[in-house]
Amino acid sequence: MFLLAVFAAIIGFAYCGKNANILWLYQHKTAGDVHASGKGSGANPIRGDFKVFVKDVCPECHAGSLDFAENGDGRWAIEIQAVQCPVGNTKIEYKFQGSNPWYLKLQTRNSRLPATEVAMFQPRSQRWEPMKRSADGFWLMGDGNWEKPVQTPLRVRLTAPNGETIEDRIDKIHNDVVIYGNGVQFSLDAHLPH
């Protein structure tokens, strides 16, 4: 298997079958295993097994399609399944975009499993406030009762699709750079493909 960037077309996807797997991969910017049989149309068939990482949307693709962002042509039949990202012993990373003490836009990166929920601790009221997922793969301050200005360090709680919850600390809000928390990672789940 080798790594390729993948672009997913998700407009019009249903939450079932292979389309749901591609939608899952895109929404959570995660990894997938692809098997290509070489069946389809065009001069350069795609054959073999690939581990792919979803990067963004392919607006010109048909619903249920993937663009391998490689030279070639045609449309080829594939099978795809979401898998745990091969992160080894590395830790979760974070990236802020356009954030300040009054507004947060946070991306979780390099996680073995995608975060399906992210919450931030509100220190004055001693409670967790859920963040809202954006279309571009970030987590935003929602319409809830946020304590502003936001004070660092930030305590975040991430929840994986299998229900595992981890907590981390982000010491500062710094835009457009990779930030490392305390060094947490979701556990390898023996019940999920990897």
Please report, in tens digits, the pLDDT of each residue of the chain (194 residues total).
223 333 333 222 222 223 334 444 544 445 566 677 767 777 777 777 777 766 666 677 776 666 766 666 777 777 776 678 888 898 999 999 999 999 999 999 888 888 889 999 999 999 999 999 887 788 999 888 999 999 999 999 999 888 999 999 999 999 999 999 998 999 998 887 77
The pLDDT value recorded for residue 22 is 45
The pLDDT value recorded for residue 86 is 80
The pLDDT value recorded for residue 141 is 94
Give the residue from 182, 106, 176, 180 showing the smallest Cα distance to 146: 106
CA dihedral sign, ordered 162, 117, 114, 77: positive
- Domains detected in the chain: 3-83 (no CATH), 93-180 (2.60.40.760)
The pLDDT value recorded for residue 88 is 85
DSSP letters, 104-147, are: -EEEEES-SS--SEEEEEETTTTEEEEEEE-TTS-EEE-SS---
The pLDDT value recorded for residue 33 is 65
- C-alpha span between 135 and 161 (Å, rounded): 18
